[in-house]
Amino acid sequence: MTVAAPHADRPVALIDLLDRLLQGGVVITGDLVLSIADVDLVRIDLRAVIAPVAAAAVDAVTQPL
Amino acid sequence: MTHTDMATDTDVKTDFGTDIKTDVRADSDTETNVDVTTGLDTDVRDLEDLKDVKADVDEDVKTDIVYAYAVLRRTPEAARAVADLRGVAGERIRLLEFGDDAPDGASGGPPGDAPDRPPALAAVVGPVPAADFDEASLKAGLEDLDWLEATARAHHAVVAALTGRGIAVLPLRLVTVYRDEDRVRQTLEARRDDFLPLLDRVTGHVELGVKIYAAPDTESPDPEPAKGKGLGVGRAYLAGRRRRKRSTEDAWQAATDTAARLRELAGTLAVDRVAFRPQRGELAGQVPGPNVSNDAYLVPEDHVEDFRTRVLAAAEGLPGVHVEVTGPWAPYSFSLPAEPVS
């Protein structure tokens, strides 16, 4: 199967990327994934830059196995 | 997992939920306790080099933990695609097979070939230094925008390299790390039944982002100078403010209406939609106005240009509204199980 869409090497805005990487993606319980699932630290410390991302990530949380 | 015979052997042995203590043992049997956050970097790099040399040996190097990027079907094409990839720590990427559906492990037949058996899966993984991805480092890293950006982009590069070759993947969330490869297998096998339908759904599809902004007309901030009407400076100022406020509200309303219409249109062109929160804050950068909606659509890959063209065309000429279409993305927003487990 081939695809015309050039996913790679395409400049993407960090905020769009963080929307997806912090709110999307398969959430599985990694040994450390709690660091991301428990986004308190992100919410607190990156509030100025990615507040909506962090807030939503909290909503999006993960179910344990 | 057996230890390697390397000169330095580091063992991350505690639960990651607590402090991580690491033993660094030299061959001389002397034993030193080191805090994982200090001093281990060089050792880890050395081990990384050694590991590269021994790339064929499937064996854990104990100072490394495993970063998992994505789940995909185990195919020769996928194996080829990861061969040259490097991950968030510059590490070599490989496929970690799991989900072999051989009942009782007895059949031993080639996985994924039998038509009556679901395809075998693999995780895209790479060994990363425990010292850089333990809890303390992650806390620090996630608060550091440069680290976050570098890690996010490197993660994305791995995923995008795969989707760029038309390989269907389920990207994992940023910084999904495991103590070792056994843990990865164990965890992913438990979710196998989630992955298969999700993979089927995203196969042949890409994700597109649609962001709608309220863009008040800034060309005419003060269309009718109030002087001639004999208003004082203060009143003129207030009148100007009211006009601007109206214009902002109009733009917001227009953008909201447009968002609703575009959703309807896009919905007919897409398989699924996920709404993200509107983007705010510094990271949003230079924007034409407030972000009204920020959605992701799962679109058949041969309809990408059609989707883009029709969505942009539908928004064209509408005053007070600005629309951006981003992507194609890997299906980040469509990799979560459909039914939320309470």
Spatial contact of B122 and B73, defined as CB atoms under 8 Å apart: yes
The DSSP call for residue B118 is P
pLDDT tens by residue, B229-283: 667 888 888 888 887 777 778 878 888 888 899 889 999 999 999 998 888 877 8
pLDDT of residue B30 exceeding 90, the answer is no
B window 135-154, beta carbon within 8 A of A: 135, 138-139, 142-143, 145, 148-149, 152-153
Q: What are the residues whose beta carbons fall under 8 Å from the beta carbon of A58, sequence distance 6 or more? A: A39, A43
pLDDT of residue A35 exceeding 70, the answer is no
CA of A13 to nearest chain B CA: how many angstroms apart?
A: 9
Question: Residue B55 has what pLDDT?
Answer: 43
B window 72-131, beta carbon within 8 A of A: none
A13 in contact with B, Cβ within 8 Å: yes
CA of B133 to nearest chain A CA: how many angstroms apart?
A: 8
Question: Residue B57 has what pLDDT?
Answer: 42
How large is the angle between the packed helices B145-163 and A14-23, nearest 10 degrees? Answer: 80
B275 in contact with A, Cβ within 8 Å: no
B294 in contact with A, Cβ within 8 Å: yes
B171 in contact with A, Cβ within 8 Å: yes
Spatial contact of A33 and B340, defined as CB atoms under 8 Å apart: no
CB < 8 Å to A52, chain B: 277-281
B120: nearest Cα among B97, B88, B144: B97
pLDDT tens by residue, B167-181: 999 999 888 888 889
Question: Residue B178 has what pLDDT?
Answer: 87
Are A3 and B163 an interchain contact pair (Cβ–Cβ within 8 Å)?
Answer: yes
| Residue of higher predicted confidence among A10 and B82 | B82
pLDDT tens by residue, B76-118: 999 999 999 999 999 999 999 986 654 444 444 454 444 556 6
**Which of the residues A15, A22, A40, A59 would you substitute to probe the B interface, choosing the one with the greatest number of B C-beta atoms within 10 Å?**
A15
Handedness of CA B300, B305, B310, B315 (dihedral sign): positive
Compute the 3-state secondary structure of chain B and give helix, strand, coil in percent, each to the nearest 5.
40, 25, 35
Residue B48, Cβ neighbours under 10 Å: how many? 19
| Residue of higher predicted confidence among B286 and B152 | B152
pLDDT of residue A61 exceeding 90, the answer is no
Interface pTM (ipTM) of the complex? 0.71
Percentage of chain B modeled with pLDDT above 90: 39
CB < 8 Å to B342, chain A: 63
pLDDT of residue B47 exceeding 90, the answer is no
CB < 8 Å to A46, chain B: 142-143, 145, 148
B window 47-76, beta carbon within 8 A of A: 65, 68, 71
Rounded average pLDDT over B136-165: 90
A35 in contact with B, Cβ within 8 Å: yes
B246 in contact with A, Cβ within 8 Å: no
pLDDT of residue A46 exceeding 60, the answer is no
B295: nearest Cα among B249, B251, B337, B261: B261
Instruction: Compute the distance between CA of residue B96 and CA of residue B77 in angstroms, rounded to an integer.
Output: 14
pLDDT of residue B8 exceeding 90, the answer is no
Question: Residue B239 has what pLDDT?
Answer: 85
Q: Read off φ and ψ for residue B300, nearest 5 degrees.
A: -55, 135
| Residue of higher predicted confidence among B68 and B108 | B68
Q: Going along B157-308, which residue ranges are E strands?
A: 169-178, 205-214, 272-276, 291-300
Least confident of B26-30, B161-165, B281-285: B26-30
